[in-house]
């Protein structure tokens, strides 16, 4: 479809039938400022389209940062906002992703919040506190490419960070439905933003492959394919809380409904 559109546009320009052709190529008929204005309007429309996605999903404005970053750290920053968005649904939370011990430890400090974690990678070099959480069964080390060791709707809210970026679509087709299966009220995904620095070479041995920073449109199409819908109520509350705090995430944040 995209090739057909490009060819059609080129034909219009060549024959002089393209509506803006004279504005773009004729200096005598229109002043340069008109051409600049048209280009500016086009850029604004493209940016608006990129952020609106398909119309069914909305993505929070993403801040521009340089260097290494972690969506797991972003989750910790966003906990107060998530509490505003999900309210009582924050009472039983599962976090899935690297360094889950840090997120679980922070969640356990919140009032009336129980938290568990799934660490997809080896924790041999983890701190003593993390190993204690594993020993006590609060955190599990498990390969998320396989079914999660929990019953359906075991948790009110499931939060995922820095894990899905390392999975190919083949495994995402299995993992994403599993994450939605064990959630009763909501699924929140913190995904890497295209253009941000990927995993260091030293981390490739741990993750198995470099991170794939996918666009919001890619994720939206994938959610539709797996029959996942946006959680409109949570999105609205999260955006309101973020606006009051002048918060802009360094990662893409998706709020999804679980399977019913």
Please list the pLDDT of the chain residue by residue as tens digits (260 residues).
Answer: 443 433 333 333 344 443 433 433 444 444 566 666 565 555 454 444 444 444 445 544 443 334 456 899 999 999 999 999 999 999 999 999 999 999 999 999 999 999 999 999 877 778 899 999 999 999 999 999 999 999 999 999 999 999 999 899 999 999 999 999 999 999 999 999 886 654 444 454 455 567 888 999 999 999 999 999 999 999 999 999 999 999 998 899 999 999 87
Give the pLDDT of residue 199.
Answer: 46
- 155-to-15, 159, 166, 199 alpha-carbon distances in Å: 61, 10, 24, 30
Burial class (CB in 10 A: 0-12, 13-18, 19+), 246: exposed
Three-state SS at 146: coil
CB neighbour class for 117 (10 Å; exposed up to 12, middle 13-18, buried from 19): buried
d(CA 76, CA 48): 29
Give pLDDT, residue 32. Answer: 62
Please tell me the distance from the alpha carbon of residue 4 to that of residue 18, in angstroms, as a whole number.
15
pTM of the model: 0.72
Please give the pLDDT value at position 35: 63
Q: What is the DSSP letter of 165?
A: G
| pLDDT score for 40 | 59
Burial 19-37, CB ≥16 within 10 A → b, else e: eeeeeeeeeeebeeeebee
């Amino acid at each position: 479809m995209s090739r057909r559109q490009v060819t059609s546009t080129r034909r219009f320009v060549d024959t002089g039938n393209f509506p803006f052709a004279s504005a773009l190529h004729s200096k005598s008929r229109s002043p340069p400022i008109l051409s600049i204005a048209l280009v500016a309007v086009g850029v604004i429309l493209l940016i608006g389209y990129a952020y609106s996605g398909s119309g069914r999903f909305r993505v929070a404005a993403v801040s521009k940062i340089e260097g290494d970053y972690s969506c797991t750290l972003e989750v910790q920053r966003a906990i107060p906002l998530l509490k505003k968005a999900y309210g009582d649904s924050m009472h039983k939370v599962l976090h899935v992703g690297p360094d889950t011990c840090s997120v679980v430890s922070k969640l356990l400090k919140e009032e009336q919040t129980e938290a568990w974690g799934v660490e997809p990678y080896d924790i041999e070099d983890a701190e003593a506190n993390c190993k204690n959480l594993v020993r006590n069964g609060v955190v599990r080390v498990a390969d998320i490419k396989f079914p999660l060791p929990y019953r359906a709707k075991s948790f009110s809210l499931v939060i995922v960070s820095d894990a899905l970026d390392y999975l190919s679509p083949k495994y995402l087709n299995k993992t994403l439905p599993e994450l939605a299966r064990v959630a009763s009220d909501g699924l929140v995904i913190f995904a890497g933003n295209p253009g941000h620095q990927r995993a260091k070479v030293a981390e490739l041995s741990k993750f198995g492959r470099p991170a794939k920073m996918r666009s919001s449109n890619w994720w939206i199409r994938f959610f539709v394919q797996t029959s996942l819908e946006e959680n409109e109520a949570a999105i609205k509350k999260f955006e309101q809380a973020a606006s009051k705090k002048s918060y802009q995430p360094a990662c893409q944040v998706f709020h999804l409904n679980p399977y019913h």
